């Protein structure tokens, strides 16, 4: 089945919208959140649990899978879906952000990126063409162009130079694309400069992609500035194609960005916070190690329908966490992922019913 996006409905009071992405491995109702499965697994949960929790699509990381176990091995073993036993859609990021985060271990040139492996220090050189080839070997449903993530702060001149590189790489990625059953998304960079964001959109539209992402945000800039850039850039993207905000975010960031017309999100926040004992609920954030929960017989969240909340008390979850039990990570992750999936379900329902403004107030009040 070919990749396509269907715009179903728009909120009458904002840019928020309902949509549906169709891929060879199933459909995704949008707005949607993608749990991060960096190395071909969403940490601490089984693929079967992801389905139960309402997960529609997961993100895997090109950089990590290229280094270990290697994209050719994954291809030899039947592709990423078979390798990780996940039959739903998969998006692979290009590895650009991971290379950006390496900083001292990498060198960027117009040809590509030379970097040292964080695993064994070995040297590697990735070009835009190789980034596409790796993702095609992995067999994800959606691949991302190799880009240079613009840091914050970056003055106009530095951001413009970075944008020229990203646009050139995007064109090379598009020319390198071979798989017809895999979508390729372009990434809009430009830092916090609206003129550059607008220029990036124009350049990517001339090249032509299956979807478009906003990158280089949530990298240290004030939240209000991120909101401003998203609100400016998202409506510039084609209405008939999916819009993806990379690496975001918190419930607050999601509700604000959906309002600006974003369809897709990913972030390590729910799973990473779960492993460190920070749990999301509809009324508060719970730091489960706190002594106040030692004798608390209540479920983590009375309004949550996840396995954790239906079967265990806060007191038991605290006991597991302070004891260093692996089950703590599992139960915490189950809850946090379900919280995020339920949040997206509430968002889609509110857009459908025309009550998005009311839901936004609720979410902002509780975060």
| Catalytic residue positions, numbered | 93, 266
- The answer to whether the CB of 133 falls within 8 A of the CB of 201 is no
Q: How far is CA 338 from the centre of its chain?
A: 16
Peptide bond into 279 cis (omega under 30): no
Beta bridge partners of 21: 5, 28
- The answer to whether the CB of 59 falls within 8 A of the CB of 266 is yes
Q: Tokens 């992801």 map to which residue?
A: 50
Q: Tokens 């089950």 map to which residue?
A: 327
Peptide bond into 54 cis (omega under 30): no
**Two structure tokens written together for 153:** 């702060």
**Two structure tokens written together for 284:** 């508060």
- Helices (DSSP H) in 3-127: which residue ranges? 47-53, 62-67, 71-76, 80-84, 96-102
Q: Using CB atoms within 10 Å of the CB of residue 103, give its burial: 0 to 12 exposed, 13 to 18 middle, 19+ buried.
A: exposed
CA–CA dist 236, 201 (Å, integer): 7
Question: Which helix (DSSP H) or strand (DSSP E) does residue 183 occupy?
Answer: strand 183-188
CA–CA dist 139, 309 (Å, integer): 36
**Two structure tokens written together for 288:** 């489960």
Q: By three-state DSSP, how is residue 33 classified? A: strand
**Two structure tokens written together for 278:** 């920070």
For 15, which DSSP code? S
The number of CA neighbours under 13 Å toward the Cβ of 131 is: 35
């Amino acid at each position: 089945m070919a990749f396509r996006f269907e715009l179903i409905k728009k909120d009458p009071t904002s840019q928020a919208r309902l949509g549906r992405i169709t891929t060879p491995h199933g459909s995704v109702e949008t707005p949607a959140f993608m749990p991060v499965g960096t190395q071909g697994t969403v940490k601490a949960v089984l693929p079967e649990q992801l389905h139960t929790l309402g997960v529609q699509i997961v993100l895997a990381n090109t950089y990590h899978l290229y280094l270990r176990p290697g994209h050719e091995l994954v291809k030899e073993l039947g592709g990423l879906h078979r390798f990780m036993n996940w039959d739903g859609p998969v998006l692979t990021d290009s590895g650009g952000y991971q290379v950006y985060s390496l900083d001292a271990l990498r060198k960027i040139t117009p040809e590509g990126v030379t970097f040292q492996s964080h695993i064994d220090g070995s040297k590697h050189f990735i070009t835009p063409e190789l980034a596409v080839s790796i993702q095609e070997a992995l067999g994800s449903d959606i691949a991302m162009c190799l880009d240079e993530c613009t840091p914050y702060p970056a003055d106009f001149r530095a951001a413009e130079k970075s944008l020229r590189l990203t646009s050139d790489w995007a064109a090379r990625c598009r020319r390198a694309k071979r798989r017809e059953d895999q979508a390729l998304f372009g990434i809009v960079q430009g830092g916090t400069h609206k003129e550059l964001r607008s220029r990036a959109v124009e350049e990517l539209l001339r090249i032509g992609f299956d979807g478009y992402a906003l990158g280089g945000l949530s990298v240290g800039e004030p939240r209000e500035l991120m909101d401003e850039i998203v609100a400016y850039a998202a409506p510039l993207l084609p209405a008939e194609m999916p819009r993806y905000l990379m690496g975001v975010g918190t419930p607050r960031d999601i509700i604000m960005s959906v309002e600006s017309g974003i369809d897709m999100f990913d972030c390590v926040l729910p799973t990473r916070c779960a492993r460190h004992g920070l749990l999301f609920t509809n009324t508060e954030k719970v730091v489960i190690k706190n002594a106040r929960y030692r004798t608390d017989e209540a479920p983590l969240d009375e309004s949550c329908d996840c396995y954790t909340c239906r079967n265990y008390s806060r007191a038991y979850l605290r006991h597991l966490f302070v004891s260093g039990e692996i089950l703590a990570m599992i139960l915490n992750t189950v809850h946090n992922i379900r919280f995020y999936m339920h949040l997206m379900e509430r968002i889609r329902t509110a857009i459908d019913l025309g009550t998005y403004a009311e839901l936004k107030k609720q979410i902002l009040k509780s975060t």
